[in-house]
Amino acid sequence: MEKIKITGSDQIYEIRSIIPTAEHVLQIVFADTVPAAWGGDIQLYTDGDILATTLTGWNTVYRDEGQTIYLSDDGSVYVPPEEPEPVTPPEPYEPTLEELQVAKKQEISQACEQTIYSGVDVVLTDGSREHFSLTQKDQLNLFGKQVEMSAGVTRLKYHTDGQPCRYYDAADMQLIVTAAMDYVSYHTTYCNSLYSWISGVQTVEEIQQICYGAEIPEQYWSDVYRDLKEGAGDDADA
């Protein structure tokens, strides 16, 4: 094991390694005792106690890590990096009422679309009930059936959800087309009145209460929605 001695002292210290770690920094790892003071030259001895070299100028303790000492030959000392300033997490973003209104209208629009696309039940002339989806493609197909009936066609091809295409007579097809148009018209008009309600609220709490299917306050009813509501009530009374 290598050894070192500080000039001016007779004590010899066993070391595990001695290496430069930077241009002006020398690292010495001690096996046991560590010098209490550094004031002279460093004499390095081999395992056979033969003086190998003398290092001069390494008199400043750059950094003390117990058994590992760093010395500098230019008087520099280790300066630990400054602790970073604590980062204060940002306050959670609170959307404005206007932003919530835009988001709520998008939510309502999607709910209206899904409700329409899910379709409507229709009672046919024989008393049977069949369900018809009303995607945009379905609505276009039904519009085409209306055109066919206007042209005098009395036997029309169509299908219920998930069923093979079959023939419907004009009376049944008219029931299907009328029910579909009424269903789409009602939900479109209801959605528009919901928009008016959303635009009219003044607080976040109010807007959070609005959902598709909610009863709209009468002050936000459009004339068309009022007629549809009153017509539905008349039908129910009948």
pLDDT band at 4 (very low <50, low <70, confident <90, very high): very high
CA angle 107, 133, 164 (to 5 degrees): 155
State the DSSP code for 94. -
Measure the CA–CA gap between 103 and 33, rounded to whole angstroms.
Answer: 72
pLDDT digits (tens, 9 = 90+) for 56-94: 999 999 999 999 999 999 999 999 998 888 999 999 999
DSSP string, 25-91: EEEEEESS---S---SPEEEE-TTS-EEEEE-S--EEEEEETTEEEEESSS----PPPPPPPPPPPP
156 touches 148 (CB < 8 A): yes
What was the pLDDT predicted at 232? 61
At CA 108, angle to CA 105 and CA 110, rounded to 5? 110
Q: What percent of the chain has pLDDT over 70?
A: 97
| Mean local confidence (pLDDT), 5-23 | 92
- The CA-to-CA distance between both ends of the chain, in Å, stands at 110
State yes or no: pLDDT of 235 exceeds 80: no
For residue 130, give the 3-state DSSP assignment.
Answer: strand
Q: What is the pLDDT of residues 147-158, one digit of tens each?
A: 999 999 999 999
